[in-house]
Copies of this chain bind each other. A is one copy, B any other.
Amino acid sequence: MANALQLRQFLPYRLNDLAERVSRGLAQSYSRDFDLTVAEWRVLATLAEHGAGQARQVARWTNLDKVRVSRAVSRLAERGLVRRRRNAEDLRTADLSLTGAGDDLVATIAPRALAWEARLLDGLPPTEQRALQRGLALLEARLDALEAEGPP
């Protein structure tokens, strides 16, 4: 049968596989040298980008669930990379921001990460790069739509 499932052609497989391989490659830019989880790295990067925010916002910015954010922040705070300041207006929450050390770390890692991304993408002709970016954006939009309408 022509439409039998072929794993290597199957989009979810391909995406998972690409993501894993890219992560592994990129890992040498941060996890190996700086002992950071993906979640921790996302929190750092997002705080560098947005300034400060509560855990809830960080979760939205990074697309991590609150548990992952909570744990990442705990570890980053222990290491003195992130500061937690209780919010006087709502004692359940705290404002999160980078410490100086956190800023420095992002300043070290970000260029490496961008360089790695560039090394990956520079292998593709500009036209194809744009096609890929557009494809990903469309897929993201499609997922938004599907998730909005629900699984039925």
The main secondary structure of chain A at its interface with chain B is helix
- For A23, the chain B residues whose CB sits under 8 A away are 12, 16
Size category, A interface: 35 or more
Task: With CB as the reference atom, state the residue of chain B lying closest to A21.
Answer: B143
B26, A22: Cβ atoms under 8 Å? Answer: no
- For A45, the chain B residues whose CB sits under 8 A away are 5, 7, 10
A132, B124: Cβ atoms under 8 Å? Answer: no
The answer to whether residues A120 and B132 also contact, given A7-B46, A12-B22, A15-B22 and a CB cut-off of 8 A, is: no
- For A119, the chain B residues whose CB sits under 8 A away are 146
Interchain CA distance A54-B141 in the complex, whole Å: 40
Shortest beta-carbon distance from A37 to chain B in Å: 12
Interchain CA distance A61-B103 in the complex, whole Å: 43
**10 residue pairs from A and B, CB less than 8 Å apart:** A5-B45, A11-B117, A13-B42, A14-B136, A17-B140, A18-B136, A21-B147, A25-B147, A128-B138, A131-B134
